[in-house]
């Protein structure tokens, strides 16, 4: 129909918002940024699905984060219990990501209860469980790669600086034989990893004085 926007242009705009939201999440690390990222992901997935398969519904990372997004959408107070922090601020932990994004296991369990029966196993596999704390940052990073590769597959390249930086890093990894996705494994030098993460999750959020 005349006057309707080109579907690929709509996807490109949604993708640009998604990659900008990811950069903001990495730089600012807070519950508002996390929720904005999850909403941008959900919007992109919806628009990608209109272009047919493949789409993000094939990504277990997306399924896991969508379940959490839906939970936070209906129970926004649970966002206050999440913690996003720089991995460098936890010197006893070593990881292949610069950020930890921790969600209480109780919240993830609630999200799983809302999910479809045939998706629960995939959702659980995408997340990293440590006692009463769950690290969702590996799923966040890997869904960025999933989305990027889908956009490439469909010939969509947003004219956006955040996307361009991700694209440059992806090509650098390819040229140097590096993996594009992360394992997200956490190694601890001293102490018990479950105890450390649970204490981080329970700690008050720092505010600027």
User: Which pLDDT belongs to residue 204?
Assistant: 73
For residue 207, pLDDT beyond 50: no
User: Which pLDDT belongs to residue 206?
Assistant: 55
* 76 found inside a domain: yes
CA pair distance 81, 103, nearest whole angstrom: 7
For residue 209, pLDDT beyond 50: no
User: Which pLDDT belongs to residue 188?
Assistant: 87
Q: What is the pLDDT of residues 162-176, one digit of tens each?
A: 999 999 999 999 999
For residue 3, pLDDT beyond 60: yes
For residue 107, pLDDT beyond 50: yes
For residue 121, pLDDT beyond 50: yes
Average pLDDT over residues 173-198: 91
* 2 found inside a domain: no
What is the residue-averaged pLDDT of the chain?
93
For residue 35, pLDDT beyond 50: yes
Average pLDDT over residues 204-208: 56
Closest among 53, 102, 98 to 81, alpha carbons compared: 102
Average pLDDT over residues 132-142: 97
* 207 found inside a domain: no
- Binning pLDDT at 50, 70 and 90, where does residue 77 land? very high
Domain housing 190: 7-202
Percent of the chain with pLDDT over 70: 96
Residues 59, 146 contacting (CB under 8 angstroms): yes
Average pLDDT over residues 73-78: 95
Burial 111-140 (b: 16+ CB within 10 A, else e): bbeebeeebbebbbebbbebeebbbbbbbb
- Binning pLDDT at 50, 70 and 90, where does residue 205 land? low
* 134 found inside a domain: yes
Question: How many distinct structural domains can be found in the chain?
Answer: 1
* 98 found inside a domain: yes
User: Which pLDDT belongs to residue 208?
Assistant: 44
CA pair distance 64, 143, nearest whole angstrom: 10
Residues 6+ away with beta carbon under 8 Å from 133: 102, 103, 104, 105, 194, 197, 198, 200, 201
Residues 6+ away with beta carbon under 8 Å from 140: 22, 25, 37, 61, 65, 101
* 209 found inside a domain: no
Average pLDDT over residues 49-77: 95
């Amino acid at each position: 129909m005349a006057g309707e926007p080109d579907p690929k242009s709509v996807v490109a705009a949604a993708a640009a918002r998604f990659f900008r939201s990811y950069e903001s999440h990495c730089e600012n690390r807070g519950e508002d940024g996390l929720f904005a990222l999850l909403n941008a992901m959900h919007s992109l997935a919806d628009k990608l699905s209109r272009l047919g398969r493949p789409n993000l519904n094939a990504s277990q990372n997306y399924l896991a984060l969508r379940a959490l997004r839906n939970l936070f959408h209906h129970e926004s107070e649970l966002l206050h219990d999440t913690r996003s922090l720089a991995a460098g601020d936890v010197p006893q932990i070593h990881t292949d990501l610069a950020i930890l994004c921790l969600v209480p296991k109780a919240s993830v369990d609630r999200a799983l209860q809302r999910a479809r029966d045939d998706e629960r196993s995939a959702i659980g596999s995408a997340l990293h469980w440590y006692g009463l704390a769950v690290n969702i940052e590996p799923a966040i990073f890997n869904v960025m790669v999933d989305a990027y590769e889908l956009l490439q597959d469909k010939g969509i390249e947003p004219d956006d600086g955040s996307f361009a930086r991700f694209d440059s890093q992806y090509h650098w990894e390819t040229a140097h034989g590096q993996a594009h996705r992360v394992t997200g494994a956490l190694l601890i030098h001293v102490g018990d990893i479950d105890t450390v993460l649970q204490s981080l999750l329970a700690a008050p959020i720092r505010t600027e004085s």
